[in-house]
Structure formats: structure tokens, C-alpha cells
A and B are shown apart, each in its own frame.
Chain A
Amino acid sequence: MIKIDEEIRKKYKIQPPPQNIIFEYGKEDIEKYMQEKGFIIESVHSINCLEEKIETVLQEELDFYIKEEACEKILEHCHSMALKGKEAMGFLIGDVKYWEGLYSIVYDIATASLDASPVYVRFRREAFEEIFDKLDEISYEYVMVGWYHSHLGYSSFMSSIDLDTQKKYFNQPFHAALVVDPITREMKAFRLIENECREIPYAIFK
């Protein structure tokens, strides 16, 4: 017989959001940022994606922060996979904190070998142990604050399959999805708010 003794809920640290912001989506141009970092692709074959595009509106409030090193890893991964004509994907690893409301921070990523095509991506089953290795290196009480993946030239948006993943796994108010398109030079963030998918602003910090 299985008996649940207690649930220990994650305690959110009360702390102001990161101050050393180097990029803020909505106020600055992400294409320029990606170009400066060298993570764009000049020209490739166009890919016809038949995935249904979920329409979203941009929320005003900023409550999603990405550490610069993590952002570079995401852009580098999406760029290198795009050069092979494949989508990239990984987990956003970080923490959830409180300051006039909940906000989430991405400190790092965890990814592994992928079953990927130009229009689809998931982890190889046998690759999860690579992710476990990465998680074991983390010294704080991490939270998977979301996931990232790339699109190859059909722009940054949430498709119906992306939305299914968001609803199944990342449905808390602090969870986010980052969608990077190195070809159209976009990186957008999305979140489920009252079960509706919204685009959200994000900030990259040092």
C-alpha cells in the first residue's frame, strides 16, 4: 500500500528581479541582438510548415528573465541545428521568485540528442540520461521553468503541437515557452494565462 505523508511545496524566494538588463523584448530589436551574436542564418531553402498557428497577443508585464549565458546556449543550439536543417529543443532550467508577483528566471538549459526534422522535435528516449547528468550538476533547487525549441524559417509562434506540450507540462503561471527562428531572426516567449496562450515580454540579463 502506498501512503502519501505530505507534500512539500517549493518556497519562492522574495527577491527583486535581475537589474543588469542587457536586452528587453518589446523595447529593443531581437534581430539585431541575434545578428550581433552571430546566430542568424542568411539563406536556406524555405520550409513549408502546415502546423496550425495559435494567435496570441503580447502581454505588457515583464516577468520572465533569461541569463545571458543561457540565452547564448539556446541561440547557439538553435543555430547549429538549423544549419543541419533540423529543429532544436531543450529545457529551461531556473527558479521562480517573488517580487510584487511571481517571476521566473532561466539560469541554464538542459538538452540532449534529439529526434528532429525540419518541422518536428523530441528527445531521443535513450538521451534522457544526458539530461539527468546536466540536472545533477545543478547545486540549487531548480525548477524547469519551461522549454525552448526552434522553427526553421516559418516564424516564431506556438503551433498546435507546441500548445499541447505547454498544456501538458508547462501550464503554471511561471512557465514559458521560447520559440526561436534563426532564419526569420525571431525569438518570442509564450505563456499560458487562464488556459490561453499569450506572448510575453522577456529580458536578458548579465
Chain B
Amino acid sequence: MKITVKDAETGNRINMEVEEDNTVEEIIEEAANYWKKNPGAYVIRLGKKILQAELTVEEANLQDGDIIELIPDPEGG
């Protein structure tokens, strides 16, 4: 199936093909590597829910055409 990963920091998007047994972590690693980001530094959202990295595409109930978004998790001091 085809999904889109959006980078909230730039508005850029990646369209990608994934399979049902791919994990969210693998998807984010792929996108993060492409954008040269640290994959572990982000909260991943699908609509109003946080996606857990260990879930597969099937378990996360990702559907064809879904958009998942990388949200920063900043710290200030």
C-alpha cells in the first residue's frame, strides 16, 4: 500500500510503498534517513493518535493513502 510521511518542520512529504508486516519504526527510519534526521527523536502521529514504533502496518491499522507525520519533541531550559 502507499502511504505518505510528512515532516512537520519543513512541510515536505515522502510518498512510499509499504507492506503489512513493515513496522512503524522501519517506516520512520526510512524517512528519517532520507531527511538525515534522528528517527528516535520524533513523536509519530496518525490523525489524533500517537503511533507506537513497534507496531506493524497491519497492527497500526494503516490504510492506503494515510499520512503520518513526524512531530518534534523539544526540550527547553
Give the B-binding residues of A (Cβ under 8 A). Answer: 1-10, 51, 87, 89, 91, 96, 119-123, 125, 128-129, 131-133, 135-136, 141-144, 147, 149, 159-162, 164-165, 168-170, 172, 175
| Contact present for A7 and B12 (CB under 8 Å) | yes
Where chain B touches its partner, the secondary structure class is mixed
| A2 adjacent to B73 (CB under 8 Å) | no
User: Are A164 and B75 closer than 8 Å at their CB atoms?
Assistant: yes
* Residues in A whose Cβ lies below 8 Å from that of B16: 2-5
Q: How far is the CB of B15 from chain A (nearest CB, A)?
A: 5
Contacts of B38 in A (CB 8 A): 168
Look across to chain A and name the residue whose beta carbon is closest to the beta carbon of B19.
Answer: A1
Tell me if B18 and A2 are in contact (CB < 8 A). yes
Among A135, A144, A172, A175, residue most surrounded by chain B Cβ atoms (within 10 Å): A144
CB-CB under 8 A from A135, the residues of chain B are 8, 69
The answer to whether B47 and A2 touch across the interface, beta carbons within 8 angstroms, is no
Give the distance to chain B from A139, nearest Cβ to Cβ, in Å: 14
Which residues of B have CB within 8 Å of A129? 48-50
Q: How far is the CB of B9 from chain A (nearest CB, A)?
A: 5
Tell which of B26, B27, B76 touches A122, judged by Cβ atoms closer than 8 Å: B76
* Per-position 1/0 for B12-55, Cβ under 8 A of A: 11111111001000110011001000100101010111100000
